[in-house]
Amino acid sequence: MQDVITQVSYLIAAALFVFSLRWLNRPTTARRGVAAGVAGMLAAVFGTLLHPEIVNFTWIAVAVLVGTAIGIPLSRVPLTAVPQRTALSHAFGGLAAGLVGTAKYQLWLGEGELTPFRTSAIAIEVLLGFLTFTGSLMAAGKLQEVIPTRPITYPKQNVINLSLLGIAIASGIGLVLNPENWMLFPVIVALSLLFGVLLILPIGGADMPTVISLLNSYAGLAAVAMGFVLENKLLITAGALDGASGFILSVIMCRAMNRSFANVLFGAFGQVQAAAAQGEQKAVKSATAIDAADYLANANSAVIVPGYGLAVAQAQHRVREVYDQLTRRGVTVRFAIHPVAGRMPGHMNVLLAEADIPYEALVEMDEINGDMPQCDVCLVVGANDVVNPAARSDRSSPIYGMPIIDADKARVVLAIKRTMNPGFAGIDNALYSADNTLMVFGDAKAVLSDIAGALRAEQEGQAAA
Ligand code: NAP
């Protein structure tokens, strides 16, 4: 009976995971998707706890307590730190897979039950699990800037890295052929841990979000292998869903940046950018928030381009005030959404949804670009790389070919940022020194507050007159 309840719980959990992914696809159903994912995980844990093989619950209770103690603070990080938080989750997933594989190898070695199939599954699980562990820790460290974000390169790096991976795979094959040769096991573990570190070293911070979703896919594949080791069908299903969705997300990000996988993994992207950033800076024109309010108030149509700086400043509610003030005056206001604005896909959608900005006002990059020449004022809020015209025109630029929002084609561009520092890609942006651009220097939240205040004061002045 217990087994039937476990199997039914697993079936429900698998269905909920599929629905969760489906619902997470659309902003309107995303909350339902999260709830389905949580419910699916609860059903999976419930079904597993009923498993007749479990005779002692003490260690499970300890693991739940430790996991909860780590998980609760992790869930409270700001939205801008979600990529590194996600990397830490993958690190834990990879470590769990690696440790379960190690424990099973030791157990079955003692009992003489290491079949070639079991040993293959363990070798794959341990390799992917441990490399995901150290790779994800490195990625989280780079994003949190506790380790240098620039690519660290040395001669013959790719050859060395691929050779180490080759030796690890060869050791895995050796272990499958002779499972009793336990000396190969620590070699696989050590090389996988080392490969995880070396894989991330040459990748610049700007590529970390893509790498994180790739590591997500490795963690999923490690879970599939773990499912085969533990003979758990739900783990195989959930791991496959995780692996495939991580891979699809990486492909979407690469496409949005017009980059290939090989270029992300072996291209040392940030290094070229650091050199490009040395170029001399042209003079820029600056304006006050009151000037900006004036331009916006007199526009027929305005496009707001949100970027990472909007998230840093947590200015979503202030941009909503500006949006309200302008739409009340009859200005057509739309938000131009770039697929990789911010630090994760959908970052801007989540941020603007927090401020209840209507979805109809959010327009995808491809759709809005055709309208940009007719746009009176383009207000760029903390966006940089995603509006950098070098991506369209400068063949030598490291972001050449990346689709951008054509902010520069608007009649007037107002760009809010604190300094002339470059964005995440580390390169200068000619948009800021263009003839039709005015810089409004300051923190996005403060500047948008001032713009909203100026618009309100003008409206009240008109009403009183
Ligand atoms: P960005 O190029 O990183 O630029 C953000 C700008 O915001 C900076 O120039 C910064 O200038 C400004 N800023 C920071 N804090 C601010 C504040 N408090 N107030 C006002 N401005 C502030 O951002 P983006 O244009 O959104 O581009 C995203 C980048 O991430 C791209 O390079 C993209 O390829 C990369 N990326 C994204 C994803 C993803 O999934 N979203 C994935 C992979 C890579 P100041 O410091 O001068 O203020």
CA distance 121 to 111: 17
Domain endpoint, select from 222, 238, 271: 271
* Catalytic status, residue 291: no
Query: Pick from 224, 243, 271: which residue ends a domain?
Result: 271
Asked if 401 and 331 count as a contact pair (C-beta separation under 8 A), the reply is no
Put residue 34 in one of left, alpha, beta given phi > 0 → left and psi -120 to 50 → alpha.
Answer: alpha
> Which residues on neighbouring strands pair with residue 333, listed in sequence order?
302
User: Domain with 324 in it: what CATH number?
Assistant: 3.40.50.1220
**Roughly how many angstroms between the first and final C-alpha of the chain, as a whole number?**
80
Same domain assignment for residues 319 and 449: yes
Residues 97 and 233 in one domain: yes
Structure tokens at 159: 């050859």
Instruction: Using CB atoms within 10 Å of the CB of residue 306, give its burial: 0 to 12 exposed, 13 to 18 middle, 19+ buried.
Output: buried
Token pair for residue 46? 């419930």
User: Which of 211, 244, 271 is the C-terminal boundary of a domain?
Assistant: 271
Listed residue (320, 400, 393) closest to 361, CA to CA:
320
* Structure tokens belonging to residue 358: 């209507």
Cβ atoms of 444 and 225 within 8 Å: the answer is no
- Whether residue 142 sits in one domain with residue 14: no
For the chain, what is the domain count?
A: 3
| Residue to mutate (ligand 1; options 304, 340, 350, 406; most atoms within 8 A of CB) | 340
Measured in Å, residue 242 CA sits from the centre of ligand 1 at: 28
| Judgement on whether residues 255 and 280 belong to the same structural domain of the protein | no
Distance CA 24, CA 30 (A): 4
Q: Contact 115/177 with Cβ under 8 angstroms? A: no
Claim to verify: residue 121 and residue 258 sit in the same structural domain: yes
Q: Which helix (H) or strand (E) holds 337?
A: strand 332-337
Q: Would you say the CB of residue 209 lies under 6 angstroms from ligand 1?
A: yes
- Is residue 443 within 6 Å of ligand 1 at its C-beta? yes
Q: Give the structural domain span for 128.
A: 81-271
Please tell me whether residues 314 and 171 are part of one structural domain: no
Is residue 306 located within the same domain as residue 453?
A: yes
Per the residue annotation, which of 207, 242, 385, 408 is the catalytic one? 385
Tokens of 247: 């891979």
Nearest to residue 20, comparing CAs of 10, 34, 1? 34
Do 173 and 58 belong to one domain? no
Question: In ligand 1, which atom is closest to the CA atom of 347?
Answer: 41
What is the pTM (predicted TM-score) of this model?
0.79
Is residue 204 within 6 Å of ligand 1 at its C-beta?
Answer: no
For ligand 1, atom 1, which residue shows the shortest CA distance? 423
Pocket perturbation via mutation, ligand 1, pick of 255, 337, 381, 417 by most ligand atoms within 8 A of CB = 417
pLDDT at 271: 52
Q: Is the domain of 334 the same as that of 246?
A: no
* Separation between Cα atoms, residue 275 and residue 269, nearest integer Å: 11
Q: Is 428 helix (H, G, I), strand (E, B) or coil?
A: coil
Residues 242 and 301 in one domain: no
**Three-point CA angle 335, 338, 339, nearest 5°:** 130
Of 305, 273, 315, the closest CA to residue 413 belongs to 305
419 close to ligand 1 (CB < 6 Angstrom): yes
Query: Do 97 and 227 have their domain in common?
Result: yes
Q: Could you tell me the CA-to-CA distances from 40 to 16, 66, 430 in Å, in that order?
A: 5, 21, 49
Q: Are residues 39 and 128 in the same domain?
A: no
Kindly report the number of other CB atoms within 10 A of residue 334's CB atom: 19
Across the chain, which has 465 residues, the per-10-residue mean pLDDT values are: 88 97 87 96 94 86 93 87 89 95 95 93 96 95 85 86 94 95 96 94 80 89 94 94 91 82 66 49 89 96 97 95 96 95 86 90 95 97 96 86 94 97 88 96 97 91 76
